[in-house]
Structure 1
């Protein structure tokens, strides 16, 4: 399977290229980038992988699937071009600037019968996989509160509009995880944070999501937080699961490592990074599941070969986008937004 990549910025270079290059049974067919510096990096990091001036040139060279990892503004046109050319396509997150745009992309793919998926790689984070296992086993009992946050101190990220603001960019992962675990949301309350130097691009957010099944999710993120809180704290009738710090796959990829270079060590969390189960006086370590972002590409590859569903269904990405739209409306109007219950990701 020949896979092409459009875009070699931070996302394309670190979160897609190393995984595509590590995928068994696949060929990294080329990258679309006009930047001389990014072409130099591509040649150094993936020798022999050609660079192209346009999506059309890459398609002409022969591809079985395309991954679009460009800034949100302008990404829609590239996804639509891939669809019009009949090429299965993965859109990076955030999927769209709003639900109307998301629905238009889904409709276009359906009309041409082109497989369309969205890169929600954090479904395969170590901590999230561990939490799913605990919930499925009933270890936490009936969950009442899901707290999920990603906080960093990265002032250089303030005002970065490539993802449409921190809420839409990072928030898409956290909302997707909440929907996947606990099903549709009926009420949304949001608070957004802005810096004086970037008054139109949020750098931080807090969302309270009321799920139809009764769970309340508190999801938050910031790129100006000096003292980070727990990555996850999940409270249930039989206990609480907490974990500090972010899954290590991002750090490894940025450092130049990959599933190809690390083999069986990839995604394995050192025991000091494992989470905790607590109930009353009981406090014990919970061994973390192995993180595996490559699984997204394995499932995509299998789906294109008719051997299973897409790793992330377009309907899931649409459900997430609707919640993010409601969050922005909540902040703008300073109120709780009531949500109609759409069919979204299936609860576990």
Structure 2
């Protein structure tokens, strides 16, 4: 399978190219980038992989599938170009600038009968896989509250998040995980934080989601938080699961490691990074599942070969986009937004 990549910035270079290059039975067939510096990095990091000036040139060279990892502004046009070219495509997250744009891409893919998926790689984080295992086993009992955070202190990131801020960029992962675990959302309340140097781009957010099934999700993110809270705190009738810090795959990829060169060591969390189960005076370590972002591409590859479902259905990405739209509306008007009142609600 020849896979082409459009974009070799932080996402394309670290989150896509190493995984595609690690995928058995696949080849990184080419990368679209106009930057001389990024072409130099490509030649060093993936020798022999050609660089192209445009998506059209890459299509003409012959690919079986495309991954679009460019800034959100303008990305929809590239995804649409890939769809019109009849080539299976993965869009990086956030999927779209709003639900209308997401719906248009989904309809275009359906019309052309082109497989379309969205790169929600954090479904395969170590901590998230561990939490899913606990929930499937009923270890925590009936869940009442799901708390999920990604908080860092990275001042240089202020004003640089894709899609107008961290709500749509980072928040797309947190909302996707909440919907995957606890289903549709009825009500959304949100607060956004802005810095004086970037008044149009939120650097922090808080969301309260009321799920139809009764669970309440509290989601937050920030790039100016000196003291991060737990990555997850999940409260249930039979106990609570907490875990600190972030899955290690991002840091490993940025450091130049990959599933191809790490083998069975990839995604394994050191025991001091494992989470905790607590109930009253009981406090026990919970062994973390092995994280595996490569699973996204393995499942995508299998789906394109008719051997399973897409790893992320675009309808799921649309649902996430609608929640993010509601969150921005909530923050702008300082009110709770009922999902049933939004355009496109069923």
TM-score range, shorter chain: over 0.9
Q: Which structure 2 residue ranges, 5 or more long, are not aligned?
A: none
SS in 1 for 2:311: coil
Q: Is the 8 A contact 2:164 2:200 kept in 1?
A: no
**In the TM superposition, what whole-angstrom CA distance separates every residue of 1:104-131 from its partner, at most 9, and x where no partner exists?**
0000000000000000000000000000
Give the aligned length: 342
Moved over 3 A (4+): none
Show the 5 A alignment for 1:299-310. 299-310=299-310
In 2, the alpha carbon distance for the partners of 1:324 and 1:12 equals: 24
Q: Is the 8 A contact 1:93 1:172 kept in 2?
A: yes
Question: Which residue in 2 is equivalent to 1:160?
Answer: 160
Q: Is the 8 A contact 1:179 1:320 kept in 2?
A: yes
CA apart distance, 1:341: 9.6
CA apart distance, 1:163: 3.7
**In the TM superposition, what whole-angstrom CA distance separates every residue of 1:125-153 from its partner, at most 9, and x where no partner exists?**
00000000000000000000000000000
Show the 5 A alignment for 1:250-261. 250-261=250-261
In 2, the alpha carbon distance for the partners of 1:237 and 1:156 equals: 41
Kindly indicate whether residue 41 of structure 2 is the aligned counterpart of residue 28 of structure 1: no
Question: Which residue in 1 is equivalent to 2:234?
Answer: 234
Kindly indicate whether residue 179 of structure 2 is the aligned counterpart of residue 179 of structure 1: yes
In 2, the alpha carbon distance for the partners of 1:312 and 1:162 equals: 20
**In the TM superposition, what whole-angstrom CA distance separates every residue of 1:19-61 from its partner, at most 9, and x where no partner exists?**
0000000011010000000000000000011100000111111
Question: Which residue in 1 is equivalent to 2:80?
Answer: 80
Show the 5 A alignment for 1:127-276. 127-276=127-276
Q: Is the 8 A contact 2:192 2:205 kept in 1?
A: yes
Show the 5 A alignment for 1:269-288. 269-288=269-288
Question: Which residue in 2 is equivalent to 1:293?
Answer: 293
CA apart distance, 1:340: 2.1
Q: Is the 8 A contact 1:72 1:164 kept in 2?
A: no
CA apart distance, 1:164: 2.8
Normalising to structure 1: TM-score of the pair? Answer: 0.97
In 2, the alpha carbon distance for the partners of 1:338 and 1:24 equals: 45
Normalising to structure 2: TM-score of the pair? Answer: 0.98
Show the 5 A alignment for 1:105-144. 105-144=105-144
In 2, the alpha carbon distance for the partners of 1:258 and 1:239 equals: 35
CA apart distance, 1:162: 3.1
In 1, the alpha carbon distance for the partners of 2:63 and 2:163 equals: 26
Question: Which residue in 1 is equivalent to 2:56?
Answer: 56
SS in 1 for 2:141: coil
Q: Which structure 1 residue ranges, 5 or more long, are not aligned?
A: 343-348
